[in-house]
Amino acid sequence: MRGPRLVQDYHAGAPELAPFFSGWPWDPEAYRRKAREVAGRFDSAARRRAAAVMRPTSGGAAAKLEAVVREGGYFVTTGQQAGLLTGPLYTIYKALSAVRLARALEPVLEKPVAPVFWVASSDHDWNEVNHIRVLDVENRLHRLELVEAPDAVPVSMARHPVGPGIADVLRRLTELLPPSEFVEPLLARIREAYRPERTMAEAYADLLGELLGPFDVLLVDPSHAEVAALAAPLLRAEIQNAAEHERRLERQTARLVAAGYHGQVGVGDGAVNVAYEDKEGRQRLVRDGDSFVLRRTKRRLTEDELLARLETTPERFSATVLLRPVVESALFPTVAYVAGPSELCYFAQMGCLFKAHAIEMPLVFPRFSVTLVERKVRKVMDKFGLSVEDFRQPARELAARIVRDELPAEVDATVSALRRQLDEGYAALVAATKSIDPTLKGPLTAAKNTSHVALREAEKKILARLKDQRATTVEQLEKAAANLAPEGAPQERVLNPVQYLARYGPELLSAVAEALRVELGAAAPAWRGVECGV
């Protein structure tokens, strides 16, 4: 398990983390405990209100949603920023992780459980979501980007148009994709979703809905008026209690740091967990005395002004990163959230914010990490006896290691013998000259070191010549690395799913989903819920 220490310890069930989470996500009793808390807050009418703002991606999803309402069921939620062509692969993996967890929880909770994907349409970081990266048939990495004016107002993805640049992106994508029977149907779906006049959030939700339809996922967009109206009371409470909630976050983050971990999200600068959006874009609210200012433009608003606007135009207000999961749990009967590594880390900071709103934090289930290994890449791995982990080092270093392993045994043995002879010979010379002048040890040691340096340089030249003769090996390894660890990062964080769907069709996602195994059953009695203290 790689990643921050907090993530590693979370998987291991370290008791030091128990006070920061509602339970260990592989403990069935933790889900039953959370379900009881949810059932105390959600009656049939509340579930019906939640269902009214959901968008089923299929007939099966609609039926599951109705069952959740009728039988008092639950949701497993996850989500991601709305961006270009669904963004990196891990977006799909988060959704499929929620699908598999929801299925695994039904026999545990003895109720229907539906997977929900929260389309984070209120986010306004354009540079984070305006591009994708794909490999061409020659394994060269390409960045396809939607460009906007440098002075554009930073609006949420719910209001940001896809724009005319999408034509060039799709033209380049068409040129890069490999020929197959799946390409044209896939491109037709993409063109229909990502039309210039549509918003990024609309396009994202449509394409994601098409891909996730076979898995009966429910989508929710918080920018829609109905969702904003449901969330307004919680945002009102957050604005009215901003100072106290900031103190809660500061204290819990300090406890986390004292336990030996890190605070993923900065707190304590007066920033409110609510953003406001108008013609000047989306901006976070910051406390300033008895009033508030908008972070970028410094425009001042009183609390009364904010609350009046929240009453009449709730769609202009949205939760920021630490409040968003609280809103989800307030609006929907949520027992678990499927989180990426960074999200998991900031959930450790926010349990007391949940409690401030009289909600227990949901179970946080780490999303599955997946690496797609194509047949051509598997052949290279098998040829050299490599694993995916081996490609976490730079391709050139890996190639050098492989070439070194191919060094003839007699050359390696001779170099090693010469290295020993240098050590032994100089040691004998130092001993023999001790009676002449003991201070000769210094220059003789320096001479030995110089000899070793010369030997290493000679060895490098031998390896370089061997490497030139093994150019095919180097090329194969670099192409495999481009697939498994592009730019030295995990495949799932860089590459877009479109290139794989173009090769293997929609059945690829079904194969990935089937490979994800949710194995519940381990007890963690020390993990009894979030502790806030004083």
Cβ atoms of 218 and 115 closer than 8 Å: yes
Q: What is the pLDDT of residue 287?
A: 96
Q: Give the domain extent around 403.
A: 376-490
Which tokens hold the place of 183? 């390409």
Cβ atoms of 2 and 336 closer than 8 Å: no
Give me the helices (H) in 470-533, please. Answer: 471-484, 491-494, 498-504, 507-515
Q: Is residue 214 part of a domain?
A: no
**How far is residue 334 CA from its own chain's centroid?**
20
Q: Is residue 296 part of a domain?
A: no
- CB count in 10 Å sphere of residue 507: 11
Q: What is the pLDDT of residue 2?
A: 65
Distance from the first to the final alpha carbon of the chain? 34
DSSP assignments along 64-106, one per residue: HHHHHHHHT-EEEEEEEE--GGG-SHHHHHHHHHHHHHHHHHH
Q: Is residue 392 part of a domain?
A: yes
**Do the strands 271-278 and 281-288 form a parallel or antiparallel pair, or are they unpaired?**
antiparallel
Q: What is the pLDDT of residue 210?
A: 96
Find all residues with CB under 8 Å of 250, minimum gap 6, and list them.
267, 268
Give me the helices (H) in 213-241, please. Answer: 225-240
How far apart CA 432 and CA 426 sit, in angstroms, is 10
DSSP assignments along 365-414, one per residue: EEPPP-----HHHHHHHHHHT--GGGGGS-HHHHHHHHHHHTS-HHHHHH
Cβ atoms of 484 and 476 closer than 8 Å: no
CA distances from 528 to 21, 279, 303, 363 (A): 8, 46, 37, 11
Q: Is residue 136 part of a domain?
A: no
Among candidate residues 58, 38, 178, the one with its CA nearest the CA of residue 111: 38
pTM score > 0.85 for this model? Answer: yes
Total domains present in the chain: 1
Q: Is residue 211 part of a domain?
A: no
Cβ atoms of 367 and 518 closer than 8 Å: no
Q: Is residue 46 part of a domain?
A: no
Q: Is residue 444 part of a domain?
A: yes
Q: Is residue 510 part of a domain?
A: no
pLDDT per position in the chain (534 positions), as tens? 567 899 999 999 999 999 999 999 999 999 999 999 999 999 999 999 999 999 999 999 999 999 999 999 999 999 999 999 999 999 999 999 999 999 999 999 999 999 999 999 999 999 999 999 999 999 999 999 999 877 789 999 999 999 999 999 999 999 999 999 999 999 999 999 999 999 999 999 999 999 999 999 999 999 999 999 999 999 999 999 999 999 999 999 999 999 999 999 989 889 999 999 999 999 999 999 989 999 999 999 999 999 999 999 999 999 999 999 999 999 999 999 999 999 999 999 999 999 999 999 999 999 999 999 999 999 999 998 999 999 988 877 887 777 766 667 787 788 888 889 988 888 888 788 888 888 888 888 888 889 888 888 988 887 777 777 677 788 888 899 999 999 889 999 999 999 999 999 999 999 999 999 999 998 888 899 999 975
- CB count in 10 Å sphere of residue 201: 26
Q: What is the pLDDT of residue 534?
A: 59
Q: What is the pLDDT of residue 413?
A: 82
Phi/psi of residue 509, nearest 5 degrees: -65, -35
Q: Is the dihedral of CA 121, 125, 128, 132 positive or negative?
A: positive
How far apart CA 35 and CA 44 sit, in angstroms, is 15
Q: What angle, 0 to 180 degrees and rounded to 10, lies between the N-to-C axes of helices 28-41 and 89-109?
A: 80
Residue indicated by tokens 């819990």: 252
Which tokens hold the place of 519? 């194995």
Q: What is the pLDDT of residue 406?
A: 65
Residue indicated by tokens 């300090």: 254
Phi/psi of residue 360, nearest 5 degrees: -85, 140
Q: What is the pLDDT of residue 45?
A: 96
